[in-house]
Amino acid sequence: MSVRAESIDFAYCGGRPVLCGVTLDVRPGVVTALFGPNGCGKSTLVRCLNGALNPSSGRVLFGDQPVEKMTAAEIARRVAVVPQDTPADVPFTVRQMVMLGRYAHGDTWGRESRDDSEAVVQSLERVNASHLSGRLFGTLSGGERQRVVVARALAQGSETLLMDEPAAHLDISRQLELYRLVRRLAAEGKAVLMVCHDLLLTPLFADVCVLMSAGRILAIGKAETVLCPAHLHAVYGGQISLAWPEERGVTVSFE
* Residue 206: per-residue pLDDT: 94
Beta bridge partners of 61: 4, 66
Cα dist from 106 to 114, 173, 212, 230, whole Å: 11, 35, 38, 50
* Residue 245: per-residue pLDDT: 61
* Residue 87: per-residue pLDDT: 87
Q: What residues have CB less than 8 Å from 101, skipping those under 6 apart? A: 80, 119, 120, 123, 151, 152, 153, 154, 155, 156
* Residue 41: per-residue pLDDT: 95
Question: Three-state DSSP class for 167?
Answer: coil
Q: What residues have CB less than 8 Å from 87, skipping those under 6 apart? A: none
Asked whether residue 2 carries a pLDDT value surpassing 80, the answer given is yes
End-to-end CA gap in the chain: 43
Question: Three-state DSSP class for 251?
Answer: strand
* Residue 110: per-residue pLDDT: 63
* Residue 13: per-residue pLDDT: 84
Asked whether residue 244 carries a pLDDT value surpassing 80, the answer given is no
* Residue 243: per-residue pLDDT: 73
* Residue 225: per-residue pLDDT: 92
Asked if 55 and 68 touch (Cβ cutoff 8 Å), the reply is no
In this structure, which topology does domain 3-222 adopt according to CATH? Rossmann fold (3.40.50)
Asked whether residue 76 carries a pLDDT value surpassing 70, the answer given is yes
Angle separating helix axes 142-155 and 172-187, nearest 10 degrees:
10
* Segments making up each domain of the chain, as ranges: 3-222
* Residue 248: per-residue pLDDT: 53
Question: Three-state DSSP class for 81?
Answer: strand
pLDDT interval class at 253 (50, 70, 90): low
Q: How far apart are CA 226 and CA 33, in angstroms?
A: 11
Asked if 18 and 44 touch (Cβ cutoff 8 Å), the reply is yes
* Residue 168: per-residue pLDDT: 83
pLDDT, averaged across the chain: 90
* Residue 246: per-residue pLDDT: 59
* Residue 24: per-residue pLDDT: 97
Mean local confidence (pLDDT), 204-232: 94
Q: How far apart are CA 121 and CA 136, in angstroms?
A: 16
Long-range CB contacts for residues 232-241, cutoff 8 Å, separation at least 24: 232/199, 235/36, 235/37, 235/40, 235/211, 236/37, 240/199
CA neighbor of 213 nearest in space, from 239, 195, 231: 231
pLDDT tens-digit series, residues 114-149 = 899 999 999 999 999 999 999 999 999 999 999 999
